[in-house]
Amino acid sequence: MPDNIVVGGVSVDTRHWIGGERVASDDTFADVSPIDGSVLGEMARGGPAEAVAAVAAAKAAFPAWAATSRAERARILHAIADGVEKRIEELSIVETTDNGALLRSHRRGVIPRVAHNFRFFADWLLKLEHEDFETRGHRNHVSWDPAGPSVLITPWNAPLMLATWKVAPALAAGNTVVLKPAEWSPLTASLLADIAAEAGLPAGVLNVVQGYGSEIGDALTSHPDVRRISFTGSVPTAKRIAESAAGNLTPLSLELGGKSPLLVFADADLDLAVDLAVEQYDNAGQVCLAATRFLVEESVAEEFTRRFVEKAATLTQGDPRDETTDIGPNIHPRQLEKIDAFVQRALAAGARAVIGGHRKDTQYYAPTLLTDVAQDSEIVQEEVFGPVLTLQTFSTEEEAVRLANDTRFGLAATLATGDAERAERVTEQLVAGTVWVNCFFVRDLQAPFGGSRHSGVGREGGTWSFDFYCDVKNTVTAPNGWKNHG
């Protein structure tokens, strides 16, 4: 197996990064581009041995990194951000080739956000504090102690951005990291290891191991030396991780997707509502926060649907490297089969495809909107993770809230209304970690992020990230307890 492959003119190492060194494995797995199904290269396929080695490296590096001053940790994180910014074009090309998301989005927003992740948490670290307070004259002082080696398991839909959303705060907190990227999109994690090393991150502080979760995952999540686990992915996988971590009582942060609603009231700006609705096809529908369930007030449902169909017809689906493309391919033929199976079962059960409802070829699924769907149907209740949306109607505000909350998920919700009082009333009743009112996907890193119900456990972002990646300690000091050594 060659140690490097060339993707879009960029050299990428195919081996793991453990303890500051490249490490090969006896086995490999093929990394396939969703754009055309071509094999980009054979990646090192890790198992229990690589997992144990990576955790050992993280454990060995932890004492020195935890003792590193806040200022020095922040300096190195900013240096990593500098490295990302110097390679935005390379990272964008590799990421698009590897996961099929739009090249223009990577260049203009996603990869710059990677650098911002590091800068934000570096700066937040330097101002992280809780005001001291008194209890019967005693001083309480809150501090954040690094917790230890952290295992971060990341998804394929926004590989580098979502990986660094975890890596940056974990490193800022003083933890060492074992990053396990998704096997369908591992390449930019390998490049991140190079960038971090060039920025001066000490050996063993960041480790990257590749492979299938079924082969390497349990060895990582059940390891007694791992003190934090953060995972973004499916509910079934999260349950396995939780079972694996339970033996060591390892704290977990889980972000598990959703089945989020878009509520459109008759008093909404319909053009805005339609724009928000069409935006849900972003990244070929492979966005955990996507509002895939349209709930539209009956009196405007026909007009909303007409405008939506017209707007959706203007979208261009094709090669994500083309600047004019709006929707790229789905990540993998298996995912495409899963999407189509959902749709065909829904159609067989009586749903109607207003648009789409079929594959375009082996890589692309036609943007789809289904109506005549029952609230208890699979297509309404389960996450599809593709360009498939449903539309239902409601007649009252109470019915809208009931339908919105009637799934096992609770990640996000989007609300379109022209009534500020209604917006406040409805958002207070929605079960969701994030609610957008007359907007979508506006995110600030200082805000809490996470889901309710089966959409996750815990919150990250700003101080919430440090609360998770650290052991938060309160020191209580008695007054006048000091001996006079003067």
Tokens 């509520």 correspond to 263
382 is catalytic: no
Q: What is the three-class DSSP state of 318?
A: coil
**Cα 400 → chain centroid:** 28
Residue 470's nearest CA partner among 18, 70, 77, 162 is 70
**Tally of CB atoms within 10 A around 366:** 18
Query: What are 109's two structure tokens?
Result: 């927003």
Tokens 């070929």 correspond to 284
What is the rounded distance in angstroms from the CA atom of residue 27 to the CA atom of residue 43?
8
**Tally of CB atoms within 10 A around 461:** 21
What is the rounded distance in angstroms from the CA atom of residue 436 to the CA atom of residue 279?
13
Residue 58's nearest CA partner among 174, 207, 172, 228 is 207
Maximum distance among all alpha carbons in the chain? Answer: 87
288 is catalytic: yes
Q: What is the three-class DSSP state of 309?
A: helix
Cα distances from 354 to residues 126, 132, 368, in angstroms, run 52, 59, 7
What is the rounded distance in angstroms from the CA atom of residue 51 to the CA atom of residue 391?
45
Q: Which of 95, 288, 297, 383 is catalytic?
A: 288
DSSP letter at 454? G
Query: What are 308's two structure tokens?
Result: 């939506």
DSSP sequence for 226-262: --EEEEES-HHHHHHHHHHHHTTT--EEEE-----EE
Q: Which of 95, 183, 255, 460 is catalytic?
A: 255
Contact 214, 144 (CB under 8 A): no
Contact 125, 73 (CB under 8 A): yes
Please give the positions annotated as active site: 255, 288
